[in-house]
Amino acid sequence: MGIVYRLRQLGSNLTAGPLSNEAWLEVTSVLTLAERELFGRLSFADQWHSYRVLRTLQNAGYNQPDLSAAALLHDVGKTCYPLNAWDRTLIVVGGALFPDRAAKWGQGSPDGWRRPFVVRAMHPVWGADMVAAAGSRTGVVDLVLRHQDKAGDPKNGKDELLRRLQWADDQN
């Protein structure tokens, strides 16, 4: 990701407001009541990000229900330890300059200056637990859990959905 993209992303994180009524109606058409409660825990910036992931998939013709729900919920694990714009900047800069160290910093408990790296590494697991507890379908849970994994076998249908989710997430 280029510097201009990251600066735009930082600006969006600092200035995000609530979803529009139109966007919220679309979210409610995809998620169950329990899933909407989880979505509502996301920061405004993360809600907009997730909504843009959903719209990117829809605009490309991908409307599979589990994929749509996962698009909206893939980052819900970040609500366990919310990140501010500066935490996100630290993750990006630290990961770009020291990728191996950043991976090691993501291990352990989310304390002190390493907290953003742990949240980045662990939010898929936390999110999958949260959506499972909310009664989400197993396909949604699987996509949330694996959304940062390298996509596997191209012949595996679950991995095709994973690749689509990752593609849309990378666009946003």
What are the pLDDT digits (tens) for 47-66?
999 999 999 999 999 999 99
Cα distance between residue 127 and residue 86, in whole Å: 22
Indicate which CATH number applies to the domain containing 25.
Answer: 1.10.3210
Given the structure tokens 């949240």, which residue do they identify? 119
The whole-number pLDDT of residue 151 equals 67
pLDDT at 15 over 80: no
| Residue 78 exposed, middle or buried by CB count within 10 Å (0-12, 13-18, 19+) | buried
* Count of domains forming the chain: 1
Task: Note down the domain range covering 133.
Answer: 3-171
150/123 Cα distance (integer angstroms): 16
pLDDT above 60 for 3: no
The percentage of residues in the chain with a pLDDT greater than 70, rounded to a whole number, is 86
Question: What is the pTM assigned to this prediction?
Answer: 0.89
| Low-confidence winner among 39-48, 53-62, 83-92, 130-139 (lowest mean pLDDT) | 83-92
Distant-in-sequence, close-in-space partners of 23: CB < 8 Å, separation ≥ 6: 48, 51
Q: Are the C-beta atoms of 151 and 159 separated by less than 8 Å?
A: yes
Q: How far apart are CA 16 and CA 70, in angstroms?
A: 21
In this structure, are residues 46 and 77 in contact, taking their beta carbons and an 8 Å threshold? no
Helix (H, G, I), strand (E, B) or coil at 32: coil
